[in-house]
Amino acid sequence: MQILHAASYEEEMRTIADPLLDSIRRSGIMPVKDAPKGEGIYYEIYDTKDARAAMVMSHGFSENTVKNKEIIYYMVMQGYKVFAVDHRGHGRSFRESHHPNLVNLHDFNDYVEDLHQFVSLVVKTKTNLPLYIFGHSMGGGIAASYIEQYPHDFKKAVLSSPMLKLILPFPEGITRVITGVKCLFGGGDTFGPGQGPYKGLENFEGSSSANRERFNYYQQQKLQNPPFQISASSYGWIYHSICAIAKIRSRSACAKITIPVLILRCVDDALIDPAGLDQFAENTAGCRIVDFDNCRHEIYNSDDHVIAAYYETIFEFLKG
């Protein structure tokens, strides 16, 4: 498949990917539980001509549909109709925090129920095509929980660097106690340890991207769009996420999965503990892990040769 080249990335996004996606995109707001009147979950639909199947996108922490634009472009080019959401607390969806740069959370399963409502009320009313799901990082954890709770909605699942166990400064159990106590005493909607408000352009060297051109492109999008300027997780988000992902990778939860699952793993991921991915794969029938070198957490933001192999792996799995 033909990929966008890093050397001319901004130009190719502007002259090739954006015009195509703009020509087939529709958007809307879906009301959900807890959202104020007139607000809800922002979503986009990409009406690919003569589509072979439909893909539901579940983005990562602090991300949104714009961050996934290159992924969506390749999905469309490979013949998939695409349905994408900004999860609650992200992008153009409603917030559960007092601060515009902070993601707060009251229950991790709200992500799953929002997505299930989207699939039921939007996706399934717009297409009869076979459905697949793609989830990155936090979105991978959401997707994994979704296929455990609703095992018949999707034919296959692709989980890219899925958030199934976080690398933390303290053991998972201790972190759960610390953040849980903070929430208990009213500090859930406050900046997590060492985190703070958005300060503008971020540092590439400490980022989750291994390709400077792809990194810089989204940084400019983020700088120009205040709804994209998520910079931190709350104590509540940390606590509820840790509790949820421990259950998601458990044997009893994984046993409910009935579809093939592909996990794409960065071997040098600084955010995700590989032991959690191994546990999930061991507990899930029909799950396969493919490892990638020369990348960071966002494998899809790597150099050209890495993402070429990355997408080849994805589309072979979906077509197989």
Q: The domain containing residue 180 runs over which residues?
A: 6-319
| 1 assigned to some structural domain | no
In contact, 96 and 105? CB cutoff 8 Å: yes
| 271 assigned to some structural domain | yes
* Interatomic CA distance for residues 17 and 25, integer angstroms: 12
| 44 assigned to some structural domain | yes
| 85 assigned to some structural domain | yes
The answer to whether residue 320 scores a pLDDT higher than 90 is: no
Q: What is the mean pLDDT of the chain?
A: 98
| 242 assigned to some structural domain | yes
| 109 assigned to some structural domain | yes
Domains in the chain: how many in total?
1
| 77 assigned to some structural domain | yes
What CATH number does the domain containing 153 carry?
A: 3.40.50.1820
Q: Note the pLDDT tens digit of each residue in 251-275.
A: 999 999 999 999 999 999 999 999 9
pLDDT-derived band at 240 (thresholds 50, 70, 90) equals very high
% pLDDT > 90, the chain: 99
| 42 assigned to some structural domain | yes
